[in-house]
């Protein structure tokens, strides 16, 4: 397209814009299980959009200078989160633009701390098999050695493998609460013992589970300890723009000890523009996500989140039971939140996925082991029975050779 010389009327432009959106898969639907955007119902969506609108055009970079209200919003979100994750009085936190940014900052802080302790590189970052690629991205950007484990123990971080991979240059250990592929929380308590012994920075990635696990725990589900109640957790990330139901652009990085703040903050003042000092990677960014995060925590309260968690976990349990009842289907481990993966020892799982797609079910996939990957949204709660019926039928069709696997589509590229 060439940049038009003359402008066009807004109505005309919006019509064209909508025609692009019409070519996209809807971002939420009863038969869509791939997540990425998080639907908590129309009321929540409207509330979140309205709240984001209040601050959409405020630049969060300028908060310290001209937006004291925004500074207060950030501090209030952080104090609510510190309380939710049993943080000690020494803890602090900051908001970032997303989960990946929070992970990058955690690794960067560990690196700065290691250097300040006089340690010499090249430094190693220990990453369990199922942890998010944001950790590898961080290692790549910072010239660190990413030691990515290649197998798991019951779909969780493999403690023996981790012990064996820690050398003198290790500075950082990642844990997931839960991991994206398997939806299972790592044994954070055991990892904390290892981290303390080797003086590693232990980061708990609760980007997905941060708004599920505490409420599941309150509901009586058996949730492993994953937060600052575990001695040895150095930092924890949680995405408000995922299951906090805030608009995009809101994650938090919490530090157990304010002393580590200096390793995260970047300050520069050797230019004519004055002092530039930020806790995050981004410069300018909209405060809309932040505002909607604050508003959602006020509107829903812990009771509201608990109700949603109860609704989705009840559906999840129904789904897991139904999957287990289908001969040949095997759920991978015991998922803690809304992510479930299942495989089959008797059928080609990708052929099964192909058959389900033909019936309108859009799911994710895992490559190791090959599995169908589901993210359960609030909208999917109403489609569990239909999903299970179609899956049963499709298993029969696969056994009759009706479906064959195409390439495994497990791609999140942009
Ligand atoms: C466990 C986990 N950590 C981190 C991230 C990265 O979050 P974001 O996409 O907001 O950068 C994701 C994204 O799905 C995730 O599931």
Dump pLDDT digits (tens) for 139-184: 999 999 999 999 999 999 999 999 999 999 999 999 999 999 999 9
- Provide the terminal-to-terminal Cα distance of the chain, rounded to the nearest Å: 20
Q: Is the CB of 176 under 6 A from ligand 1?
A: yes
Residue 53 in this model has a pLDDT that exceeds 90: yes
Three-class DSSP labels, the chain: CCCCCCCCCHHHHHHHHHHHHHHCCCCCCCCECCCCCCCCCHHHHHHHHHHHHHHCCCEHHHHHHHCHHHHHHHHHHHHHHHHHCCCCCCCEEEEECCHHHHHHHHHHHHHHHHHHCCCCCCCEEEECCCCCCHHHHHHHHHCCEEEECCCCECCECCHHHHHHHCCCCEEEEEEECCCCCCCCCCCHHHHHHHHHHHCCEEEEECCCHHHCHHHHHHCCCCCCCCCCCCCCCCEEEEECCCCCCCCCCCEEEEECCHHHHHHHCEEECCCCCCCEEECCCCCCCECHHHHHHHHHHHHHHHHHHHHHHHHHHHHHHHHHHHHHHCCCEEECCCCCCCEEEEEECCCCHHHHHHHHHHCCCECEEEECCEEEEEECCCHHHHHHHHHHHHHHHHHHHHHCCCCCCCCCCCCCCC
Mutate to test the pocket of ligand 1, among 35, 36, 99 (most ligand atoms within 8 A of CB): 99
- How far apart CA 60 and CA 71 sit, in angstroms, is 9
Cα three-residue angle 68-74-79, rounded to 5 degrees: 125
Q: 370 is written with which tokens? A: 């090959």
Q: How far is the CA of 137 from the centre of ligand 1 (A)?
A: 12
Q: Is the CB of 129 under 6 A from ligand 1?
A: no
Mutate to test the pocket of ligand 1, among 98, 180, 184, 237 (most ligand atoms within 8 A of CB): 180
Q: Which of 243, 238, 211 is nearest to 98 (CA)?
A: 238
pLDDT band per the 50, 70, 90 thresholds, residue 290: very high
Residue 377 in this model has a pLDDT that exceeds 90: yes
Q: Is the CB of 239 under 6 A from ligand 1?
A: yes
Q: How far is the CA of 7 from the centre of ligand 1 (A)?
A: 38
Q: How far is the CA of 134 from the centre of ligand 1 (A)?
A: 8
Q: Residue of the nearest CA to atom 9 in ligand 1?
A: 99
pLDDT band per the 50, 70, 90 thresholds, residue 34: very high
Q: Is the CB of 232 under 6 A from ligand 1?
A: no
Residue 304 in this model has a pLDDT that exceeds 80: yes
Q: 162 is written with which tokens? A: 């981790």
Q: Which atom of ligand 1 is nearest to the CA of 36?
A: 14
Q: Is the CB of 98 under 6 A from ligand 1?
A: yes
pLDDT band per the 50, 70, 90 thresholds, residue 375: very high
> 351, 405 in Cβ contact below 8 A?
yes
pLDDT of residue 144: 98
Q: What mean pLDDT, rounded, does the chain reach?
A: 96
Strand order in the sheet with 92-96: 92-96, 251-255, 235-239, 201-205, 170-176, 124-127, 145-148
pLDDT band per the 50, 70, 90 thresholds, residue 92: very high
pLDDT of residue 4: 95
pLDDT of residue 406: 72
Q: Is the CB of 224 under 6 A from ligand 1?
A: no
pLDDT band per the 50, 70, 90 thresholds, residue 291: very high
Total-model pTM: 0.97
Residue 408 in this model has a pLDDT that exceeds 90: no
Q: Is the CB of 208 under 6 A from ligand 1?
A: yes
Q: Residue of the nearest CA to atom 8 in ligand 1?
A: 99
- How far apart CA 30 and CA 278 sit, in angstroms, is 41
pLDDT of residue 405: 83
Residue 407 in this model has a pLDDT that exceeds 80: no
- How far apart CA 191 and CA 254 sit, in angstroms, is 18
pLDDT of residue 409: 67
Name the least confident of 45-49, 132-136, 158-162, 400-404.
400-404
Q: Is the CB of 55 under 6 A from ligand 1?
A: no
Q: Is the CB of 217 under 6 A from ligand 1?
A: no
The fold adopted by the segment(s) 47-297 is: 3.40.640
Q: Which atom of ligand 1 is nearest to the CA of 35?
A: 14
Q: Which atom of ligand 1 is nearest to the CA of 176?
A: 1
pLDDT of residue 414: 75
Q: Residue of the nearest CA to atom 5 in ligand 1?
A: 99
Residue 399 in this model has a pLDDT that exceeds 90: yes
Other C-beta atoms closer than 10 Å to the C-beta of 155 total 22
CB neighbour burial string for 312-323, b if at least 16 within 10 angstroms, e if fewer? bbebbeebeebb
Q: Is the CB of 100 under 6 A from ligand 1?
A: yes
Q: Which atom of ligand 1 is nearest to the CA of 248?
A: 10
Percent of the chain with pLDDT over 70: 99
DSSP-assigned beta bridge partners for residue 235? 203, 255
CB neighbour burial string for 156-180, b if at least 16 within 10 angstroms, e if fewer? bbbbebbeebbeebbbbbbbbbbbb
- How far apart CA 31 and CA 29 sit, in angstroms, is 5
Q: How far is the CA of 34 from the centre of ligand 1 (A)?
A: 13
> 379, 37 in Cβ contact below 8 A?
no
Q: Is the CB of 35 under 6 A from ligand 1?
A: no
Mutate to test the pocket of ligand 1, among 205, 239, 240, 250 (most ligand atoms within 8 A of CB): 239
Q: Residue of the nearest CA to atom 2 in ligand 1?
A: 207
Q: Which atom of ligand 1 is nearest to the CA of 339?
A: 16
Q: How far is the CA of 356 from the centre of ligand 1 (A)?
A: 26
Q: How far is the CA of 135 from the centre of ligand 1 (A)?
A: 10
């Amino acid at each position: 397209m060439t940049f038009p010389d003359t402008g066009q009327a807004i109505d005309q432009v919006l019509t064209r814009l909508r025609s692009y959106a019409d070519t996209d898969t809807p971002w939420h639907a009863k038969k869509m299980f791939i997540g990425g955007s998080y639907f908590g119902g129309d009321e929540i969506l409207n509330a979140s959009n309205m709240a984001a609108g209040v601050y959409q055009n405020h630049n969060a970079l300028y908060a310290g200078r001209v937006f004291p209200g925004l500074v207060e919003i950030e501090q209030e979100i952080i104090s609510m989160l510190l309380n939710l994750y049993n943080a000690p009085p020494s803890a602090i936190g900051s908001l970032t633009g997303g989960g990946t940014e929070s992970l990058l900052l955690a690794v960067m802080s560990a690196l700065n701390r290691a250097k300040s302790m006089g340690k010499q590189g090249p430094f190693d970052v220990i990453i369990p098999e199922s942890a998010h690629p944001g950790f590898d991205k961080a290692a790549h950007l910072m010239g660190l050695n990413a030691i990515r484990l290649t197998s798991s123990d019951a779909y969780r971080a493999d403690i023996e493998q981790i012990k064996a991979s820690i050398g003198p240059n290790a500075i950082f250990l990642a844990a997931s609460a839960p991991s994206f592929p398997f939806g299972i929380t790592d044994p954070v308590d055991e990892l904390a013992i290892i981290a303390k012994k080797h003086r590693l920075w232990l980061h708990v990635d609760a980007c997905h589970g941060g708004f599920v696990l505490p409420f599941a725990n309150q509901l009586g589900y058996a949730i492993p300890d994953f937060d600052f109640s575990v001695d040895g957790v150095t930092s924890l990330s949680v995405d408000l723009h995922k299951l906090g139901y805030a608009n995009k652009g809101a994650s938090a990085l919490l530090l157990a000890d304010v002393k580590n703040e200096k390793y995260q903050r970047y300050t520069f003042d050797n230019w004519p523009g004055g002092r530039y000092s930020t806790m995050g990677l981004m410069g300018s960014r909209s405060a809309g996500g932040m505002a909607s995060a604050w508003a959602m925590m006020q509107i829903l309260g812990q009771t509201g989140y608990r109700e949603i968690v109860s609704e989705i976990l009840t559906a999840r349990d129904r789904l897991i039971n139904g999957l287990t009842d289908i001969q040949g289907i095997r759920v991978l481990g015991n998922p803690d939140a809304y992510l479930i993966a299942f495989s089959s020892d008797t059928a080609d799982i990708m052929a099964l996925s192909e058959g389900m797609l033909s019936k309108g079910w859009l799911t994710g996939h895992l490559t190791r082991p090959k599995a169908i990957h589901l993210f359960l949204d609030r909208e999917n709660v109403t489609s569990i029975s239909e999903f299970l019926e179609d899956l049963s039928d499709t298993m029969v069709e696969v056994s009759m050779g009706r479906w064959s696997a195409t390439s495994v589509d497990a791609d999140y590229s942009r």
